[in-house]
Amino acid sequence: MQRSLTYALSISLALSLFTGCTPIQPTPEKKVTIDPTLPIPSLNGSISDIQTIAFEWKAISDPRVSGYNIYRAAANESNQTLTRVGTIDGRFATHYVDEGLTPNTLYHYRFTTTAKELLESNGSETIEASTFPMIAPVSFFQSVGNMPRSAKLLWRPHPNTRINSYVIERLDVNDQEWSSIKTIEGRLNAEYIDTKLKDGQVYYYRVRAVTFDKLKTEPSETAKVVTKPLPPEIKGVSATTNLPKAISLKWEPSSLGSDLSHYNIYRSTSSNGIYEYRVKLTETTFTDTTKGDGEPFYYKVTAVDKDGLESPMGSIITQGVSLPKPHTPIAYDGRIGASGVDLQWTSSDPRIISYTVIKTTKTSWIGRESIEINNIKETKFQDPNTTPNVGYIYQVMGVDKDGIRSLPTEGIELMYEKK
């Protein structure tokens, strides 16, 4: 007649009652009653993987059995007590997979059967099983730097056919931790170009291979990338102040050399205003036309390389001014008589080479007709073409060699009254 152990065991008592010569014993998580008459699982063996170990045991026909408990301890742990890591409900189960294990680690296992009312059998013999080492990292990884706002990454496809994808990780100079930026699907894919990076910035990259079951290898060696910097600021920009209706710019050539694509010219009507794009060119001089005389403009020049990177505009502002108008004649005087009009004036502007007289005839109370008499070389003018009792207004403008006219003098109103 079989006897059953019907009292609840403490953890320490349970350790002493599990069979086997090894000192490693399962530790029940709850108080159980050990029934030595319950059948003990007989293991057929195990199959290992990197983070999993699968077990198989012989089927048990005893109808008292309601399930199984699995106990485990890692061989490298200082405390070699086995703890329960799994429970299976159902007598007919014959397989168990232990997951989430540490790669390349030896483990000890024992199995028990369970019955109703917290009955549990003695433990099976201790089974040793080891997980496989983790798949090796990507063995070759390199980067291509000095690219415009991007980095090219290359690696050797992993030889292990379990690899399904790669994870690219990045760290820049301002980061504290690595971040995953891209997953590349396919074992044979071996290239990635990271874009939208900062100019002249240092970045670090590494890659991890990922298996079909989502296991990640250790990272590859780290590759450093420095993105292409912006072209240097343009120096030595100067602008003229003495050209008629034009401003000429010149500047020092960019140090880009053969990498230079072109220069961009920007112009504003005020020093702190908005600088609008004006023109692009490859020379180091530019003549800008203006509509007015003495009209100031403000300029900035940038260099653009062959990758489209543009140098900063910088804080230095260059002002240019088109040639201003000559000074208006002064000491202007006029008289009218029966023989016509006599005008005279003086001028202190050496630029003036001739004068223009504007003659305005009052045709009615509000009507006016004006003509210009040009190319007057002296500082006086006689107009015999006048009519008595008709009002006239005379003004004088100085003209320089470029044809730029001064502002006209104030008008002198004259009329010869004939009785």
> Residue 145 belongs to a domain with what CATH number?
2.60.40.10
The residue out of 226, 254, 273 marking a domain boundary is 226
pLDDT (0 to 100) of residue 18: 38
Residues 201 and 297 reside in one and the same domain? no
Say if residue 22 is in the same domain as residue 126: yes
Strand partners, 163: 211
With beta carbons less than 8 A apart as the criterion, state whether 113 and 39 touch: yes
Domain end (from 226, 257, 292): 226
Model pLDDT, residue 117: 86
The answer as to whether 317 is a domain residue is yes
Element (H, E) at 11: helix 11-17
Q: What is the pLDDT of residues 136-170, one digit of tens each?
A: 999 999 999 999 999 999 999 999 999 999 999 99
Q: Do 363 and 404 share a structural domain?
A: yes
Q: What is the pLDDT of residue 331?
A: 85
Are 157 and 259 part of one and the same domain?
A: no
Distance of CA 396 to the CA centre of its chain: 63
Domain that holds residue 252: 238-321
How many residues does the structure list for the chain?
A: 419
Q: Is residue 151 part of a domain?
A: yes
Q: Does 388 reside within a domain?
A: yes
Q: Are residues 27 and 83 in the same domain?
A: yes
Q: Verify that 125 and 154 share a domain, yes or no.
A: no
Tokens of 208: 């991890």
Is 135 within a domain?
no
Number of domains the chain is built from:
4
26-27 and 82-89 strand pairing: parallel
CA atoms 185, 191, 195, 197: torsion sign: positive
Task: Tell me the sheet residues that pair with 262.
Answer: 304
Same domain assignment for residues 66 and 94: yes
Query: Residue 112: CA atoms inside 13 Å, Cβ hemisphere, count?
Result: 34
Q: Do 336 and 315 belong to one domain?
A: no
With respect to residue 5, please indicate whether it lies within any of the assigned structural domains. no
pLDDT, one tens digit per residue, over 368-407 is 999 999 999 999 999 999 999 999 999 999 999 999 999 9
pLDDT at residue number 29: 55
Of 266, 290, 321, which residue is a domain's last?
A: 321
H or E, element range at 120: strand 119-120
Question: At CA 412, angle to CA 407 and CA 418, rounded to 5?
Answer: 155
Residue-wise pLDDT tens digits, 76-89: 876 678 999 999 99
Nearest to 87 by CA among 105, 65, 114, 60: 114
Given a cut of 50, the residues of the chain with pLDDT beneath it are 1-25
Answer yes or no: do 261 and 353 share one domain.
Answer: no
pLDDT for the residue 24 = 42
- HSE at residue 97, side-chain half, CA atoms within 13 A, is 7
Separation of CA 43 from chain center: 59
Left if phi > 0, otherwise alpha if psi is -120 to 50, otherwise beta: which for 129?
beta
DSSP 8-state symbol, 257:
G
Same domain, 302 and 367: no
Together in a domain, 242 and 270: yes
Burial of 124: CB neighbours in 10 Å, binned 0-12, 13-18, 19+: buried
- Based on the domain organization, do 65 and 118 belong to the same domain? yes
